Amino acid sequence: MTSISESIAAQPGVQRVPTPKAELFQCRRFVDAALAAELIALIEAERRPSTIADDNGDPAFRTSETCDLAADLVPVQRVEALLAQLSGIDPAFGEPLQGQRYAEGQEFKPHTDYFTPGGGDFERYCARSGNRTWTFMIYLNDVPAGGATRFKVAGKTFQPEAGKLLCWNNRLPNGGVNPATLHHGMKVRKGVKYVITKWYRERPWQG
């Protein structure tokens, strides 16, 4: 049986990022300019302040804006199809697609996408669908300055690049969470950064 990592690595244009600490991949030009523009317009229309689980009391921890993207929208369906073809993951395990907007000075300080077992909000977010497994994130535009995604533990930093996909496995081979997936959505210094994010769960998504 082909693993998710093997499925991703076999796709044209995909590069496995050289690090032993996490399963991490990138693919340039994963979405075209026209699709990216449609997604940016949707984010602009529906954005709201972002929130976090296990609030640590830092009001500046995540300062971006977020947009839930409805599954019946054609641009969303196109992205979902691209991701399903890339990974082979059953779409039933996916959370709804989200968009994020970072204005100048906004960031998401170092965090993991999985919910910390035993954390204050773990049961609330994981009781029905389990923890997050894979993350797929697509930059929708070039950013004049700043806005990189930095994986400090893995020693890798990725610059925003229109259409580029980053994806990673939030788990270790034994099924536990992988703290080396800690990453920082660094401050945008000039311009605005748009991304879309897709997370998958251990069990079919139940909201």
Return the pLDDT at 145: 97
Q: Which residues contact 46 (CB under 8 A, 6 or more apart)?
A: 67, 68, 69, 99
Distance CA 46, CA 42 (A): 6
pLDDT exceeding 90 applies to what percent of the chain? 87
Distance CA 28, CA 149 (A): 15
Q: What is the pLDDT of residues 109-125, one digit of tens each?
A: 999 999 999 887 898 99
Return the pLDDT at 52: 72
pLDDT band at 207 (very low <50, low <70, confident <90, very high): confident
Considering the domain boundaries, does residue 207 fall inside one? no
Look at 180 and 60; give whichever has higher pLDDT.
180
The parent domain of residue 83 ranges over 4-201
Considering the domain boundaries, does residue 183 fall inside one? yes
Q: What is the pLDDT of residues 33-73, one digit of tens each?
A: 999 999 999 999 999 988 776 666 777 788 899 999 999 99
Considering the domain boundaries, does residue 206 fall inside one? no
Distance CA 161, CA 141 (A): 6
Q: Which residues contact 21 (CB under 8 A, 6 or more apart)?
A: 153, 154, 155, 178, 180
Residue 10's CATH number: 2.60.120.620
Return the pLDDT at 51: 78
